Amino acid sequence: MKVLVTGGLGFIGSETVVALLEAGHEPIVVDNLCNSKIGVIDRIETITGVRIPFIQADCRDKEAMDKIFSSYQIDGVIHFAGLKAVGESVKLPLKYYENNLLSTLVLIQAMEEHGCHNLVFSSSATVYGDPGELPLKETTPLGTTTNPYGETKKMIERILTDYAHVHPEFNIALLRYFNPIGAHPSGLLGEDPRGIPNNLLPYVAQVAIGRRDHLNVFGDDYPTPDGTCIRDYIHVLDLAEGHVATLNKLNENPGLVIYNLGTGKGTSVFEVIKAFEKASGVKVPYVVAPRRSGDVTANYANVDKAEKELHWKAKRSVEDACRDAYNFQKANPEGIA
């Protein structure tokens, strides 16, 4: 399949491009480079031997999107493009609503006009809010989201669901990711945030190589076995392979489908730190800080549906992800050039 990957030079997007190439697909990447680096294209080529077609454009630009669909016979789209920093979304809600919603609306319009009917949407477990019961199933009622970033994901899910109801020719997969971590084992691709990392593992890795003094653990008084928050951490390579499996599912013309992509197992912040220290051989200094507003106590997936319908299962461990993240950070102490 010829697959348009929006935001395809980002953390999850770039790993998915590699997985698509390895599965024999032809990815075309569009990215506005607001939170990614152009050098990722060279690194994808080093790993796969393929120079991917790349268009620097914003998905909100209707003219640019029309031009892409006119230039390539696109069979399906994986939509990663969007702003994703939870804390920033609280401070700049309009920026998040405008960017994330408009980019999706323009994309869907372009797909409809050019006869492309297969879409995989990058959603998030944040749509479940603060869960009343665990593990989370796709049928679990969506909760109250705790930040504008999460609300944009929830709103886009609703838009796509409503759209699918009146466009039965469209096949749309809503993929609810849990917590992607890790890096490509080559050390060439990994999570490379601009500024201070918002996510746990890149922060831990930067502390491990001495780029930052210590890690802040936000709260150790949660009602969990060790007092720290529990999340479902999934290796980014497993997540990327889940996208390839989902594309195969869309070829069956299933209409609208929803899948959790996680491991089905919760891991606490302290357990991640221990796994990282074991994988890297480096002690990670940390300070317990006050809780962050918006953090839920625990969140992990039931992944039975994805295993059954996509024939996909996460197979890499948290320790594998820690080792790969550390190797990426050591090889790229200041990030990707």
- Please pick, among 149, 203, 233, 326, the residue that the annotation labels catalytic: 149
**CB of 142 within 8 A of CB of 154?**
yes
Based on the residue annotation, tell me whether 149 is a catalytic residue of this protein: yes
**CB of 88 within 8 A of CB of 13?**
no
- Catalytic amino acids? 149
